[in-house]
Amino acid sequence: MRIDLHTHSRASDGTQTPADLMTAAARAGLDVVALTDHDTAEGWTEAATAARGLGITLVPGMEISTEYEGRAVHLLAYLPDPGYPPLVEALTRVLAARNARVPAIVERLVAHGVEITVEDVIAGAGDAAAVGRPHVADAMVAKGIVEHRDQAFAQWLSPGRPGHVMRYSADLREMIGLVEAAGGVSVLAHVWGRHLPATLDVPVIAELADLGLGGLEVDHQDHDADARARLREVAVDLDLVITGSSDHHGLGKTDHDLGCNLTDPHQYDRLLDRAAAAAARSGRTTPAVENA
């Protein structure tokens, strides 16, 4: 069983439609794939229809933008009820902040002599529910200002660069509770990746586990062998589910091919068990795993 639990489509900042992503997942030999767009469930229906036709299993999920003590933390949420009102409200706030940030970024870039417009960004983003820096980067590539997304981030969009603008994110502790109340299970994405130097140390992870955190994404391209080994121990000690995933973004991120990291089938079963338990406790109508 080949299981990849973290991918992005054009509903956020991937470059493939949800249907094309499912086709690519089947072609990559995956049996189970989770669609985890940033802050939205928008791609779920299209992906589920495609997965049904292809005979692969789709786990509906999302990667929620949160913050812990001023640092950005990505929280994967699997199988929450996307209509749970407090979750809808929280995601609406995050998406509104995403939309509001685009003109602010463009304004800064223009002030530094970069000739792009909000319309350029929106045109490239298509009908993405979650617009972000990768779409600004794509607009800069289309205009020949940079060669690829990485260069746009390195020169313009990362913290400390001229086009960087902060945005509102949900509170991590609150979001862990909301995901659970929505009948889903939460997993910290790329826990010790390059974006999070030392924010989430072991005592903090233990505190989050007490709040209902379900798992840790251990096998991810942002983690070296040492980080993976240490995180695996932390997960075992705290009885957290261990996941592995590609964080595929189509052509938007190199070295993140579908299936480049995988989740152990036993850990996948534990994840589904935790989601089922949360759903039973909450009484929410949670989405089906397609082709389970």
Binding-site ranges for Zn ion (CB under 5 A)? 13
Q: Which is nearer to Zn ion, 60 or 183 (CB)?
A: 60
Q: Which is nearer to Zn ion, 63 or 120 (CB)?
A: 63
Quick one: which H or E segment has residue 74? strand 71-78
> Measured between alpha carbons, how far is 82 from 103 in angstroms, rounded to an integer?
28
Residues 235-254 that bind ligand AMP (CB under 6 A): 249, 252-253
Q: Which is nearer to Fe ion, 74 or 135 (CB)?
A: 74
Binding residues for Fe ion, total number by CB under 5 A: 4
- Tell which one of 43, 132, 163, 250 touches ligand AMP (CB under 6 A): 132
Q: Which two tokens mark 279?
A: 């759903």
CA nearest neighbour of 268 among 185, 193, 175: 185
Q: How far is CA 184 from the centre of its chain?
A: 15
Stretch touching Fe ion by CB under 5 A, among 9-17, 66-74, 104-112, 278-286? 66-74
Helices H / strands E in the chain, number of each: 10, 8
- Tell which one of 22, 60, 74, 279 touches Fe ion (CB under 5 A): 74
Look at phi and psi of residue 35 and say left if phi exceeds 0, alpha if psi is from -120 to 50, else beta.
Answer: beta
Work out how close the CB of 136 gets to Zn ion at its nearest, in angstroms, rounded to a whole number. 13
Strands (E), 142-261: 170-171, 185-188, 215-219, 241-244
For residue 134, state whether it binds ligand AMP (rule: CB under 6 A). Answer: yes
Site of interaction with ligand AMP (CB under 6 A): 13, 38, 132-134, 149-150, 153, 249, 252-253
